[in-house]
Amino acid sequence: DIQMTQSPSSLSASVGDSVTITCRASQSISTYLNWYQQKPGKAPQLLMYLTSSLQSWVPSRFSGSGSGTDFTLTISSLQPEDFATYFCQQGYTTPGTFGQGTELEIK
């Protein structure tokens, strides 16, 4: 199975800050990388697919990049509703393994 490693595991930031979360795959996954957002007590929501394509509900302050094994999720100008846990997931092979998550907290 492909292993997905996210960093950092947690992150504190303030409203208005810009943050970047990194996801690394144990082997090349081309651009088959998804990002999910999960808020406490709620189901995850697909945020971004194929590395950089935003779901329709996602504001443009979210962006993604990368290919092969290294990927990033960047949130510019953090808003209060962005504080959540973010998971990456590879879609290259089954099982579609997830990263361990990055908890984004308000500083």
Partner 1 sequence: EVHLVESGGGLVQPGESLRLSCAASGFTFSSYWMSWVRQAPGKGLEWVANTKQDGSEKYYMDSVKGRFTISRDNTKNSLSLEMNSLRAEDTGVYYCARDVGPNTLDFWGQGTLVTVSS
Residue 51 engages partner 1 in binding (rule: CB under 8 A): no
Residue 94 engages partner 1 in binding (rule: CB under 8 A): yes
* # residues near partner 1 by CB under 8 A: 27
Buried b (16+ CB within 10 A) or exposed e, 37-71: bbeeeeebeebbbebbebeeebeeebbbebeebeb
The residue among 69 and 89 lying less far from partner 1, judged by its C-beta, is: 89
The interface region with partner 1, picked from 11-19, 20-28, 47-55, 63-71 by CB under 8 A, is 47-55
Contacts for 97 with CB less than 8 Å, ≥ 6 apart: 1, 2, 3, 4, 89, 90
Residue 31 engages partner 1 in binding (rule: CB under 8 A): no
Residues that bind partner 1 (CB under 8 A): 1, 32, 34, 36, 38, 42-46, 49-50, 55, 87, 89-101
